[in-house]
Amino acid sequence: MASLADLRKDYTLHGLLEHEVASCPFDQFAKWFSDAVNAKVTEPNAMTLATATVHGAPSARIVLLKSFDERGFTFFTSYEGRKAGELAENPRAALVFYWPDLERQIRIEGEVQKVSKLESEEYFLSRPLGSRIGAWASKQSSVMKGREELEARWHEIEKRFAETIVPLPETWGGYRLWPNSMEFWQGRPSRMHDRILYERNGTFWGFKRLGP
């Protein structure tokens, strides 16, 4: 096996120059996201979500981006798990997308808020039945006795809602991250990567180049 120290890749596919980037970072995100979809990247909407406690202890996990527009980036989760607890005490978070097939990374930082109950409900009711039951069955991030406990709860919920639609649980819904910065990283040969950082001042976005 090659040693870890020797594992590296030279990036040669694309560049990212000032004259090519959109003036609005949401347009730039839309372009890169559609490139990722067209390149058939595996789960292009999987992103790392980093949160932190009020004392600054960080944690990170993958969640799925479910929509984005000029209001921000939306994902859905339990309102009871670890990330929800950290967001309740410290609503600042960061997102990272990495699309190795395109040699691209996007970093997004900002403030997170719950979406409206109506928006959560609309999305929840669009999910497959099994996932809706799963959301009721899971007490996200709490310790369980074993897998049997989870499966027993799933069957209990399936029975409970056998005759009706599975409604949105009170403990589940969306969050939207409203960015104050978005950085687009394009791998280049010899570690001479392109990094374009957009920063928001009120509603105005400007961008600058960062050293790789």
Which residue numbers are catalytic?
191
Which residue in 63, 96, 150, 197 binds ligand FMN (CB under 6 A)? 63
d(C-alpha 200, C-alpha 204), whole Å: 6
Among 15, 24, 35, 61, binds ligand FMN (CB under 6 A): 61
CA–CA distance from 1 to each of 4, 7, 113, 212 (Å)?
9, 10, 46, 29
Q: Do the beta carbons of residue 13 and residue 103 sit within 8 Å?
A: yes
Residue 46 contacts ligand FMN per CB under 6 A: yes
In whole angstroms, how close is the CB of 188 to ligand FMN at the nearest point?
28
Q: Exactly one of 26, 32, 73, 75 binds ligand FMN (CB under 6 A); which one?
A: 75
Task: Out of 28, 74, 77, 120, name the contact with ligand FMN by CB under 6 A.
Answer: 77
With binding defined as CB under 6 A, does residue 169 bind ligand FMN?
Answer: no
**By CB under 6 A, residue 140 contacts ligand FMN:** yes
Residue with tokens 């109950």: 117
17, 193 contact by CB (below 8 A): no
Report the residue from 12, 116, 131, 141 that binds ligand FMN according to the rule CB under 6 A: 141
- Measured in whole angstroms, the distance separating CA 105 from the mean position of its chain's CA atoms is 13
Cα torsion angle, 57, 58, 61, 67, sign: positive
Nearest CB to ligand FMN, comparing residues 18 and 43: 43
Q: Does 22 bind ligand FMN (CB under 6 A)?
A: no
Cβ burial, residue 31 (10 Å; 0-12/13-18/19+): middle
The answer to the question of residue 144 lying near ligand FMN (CB under 6 A) is: no
Task: State residue 81 phi and psi, 5-degree precision.
Answer: -80, -170
CB of 96 to ligand FMN, least distance (A): 13
The answer to whether the beta carbons of residues 192 and 17 sit under 8 Å apart is no
The position carrying tokens 């949401």 is 26
Q: Is residue 62 close enough to count as binding ligand FMN by CB under 6 A?
A: yes
195 interacts with ligand FMN by CB under 6 A: no
Residues forming the site for ligand FMN (CB under 6 A): 43, 46, 59, 61-64, 75-78, 81-83, 140-141
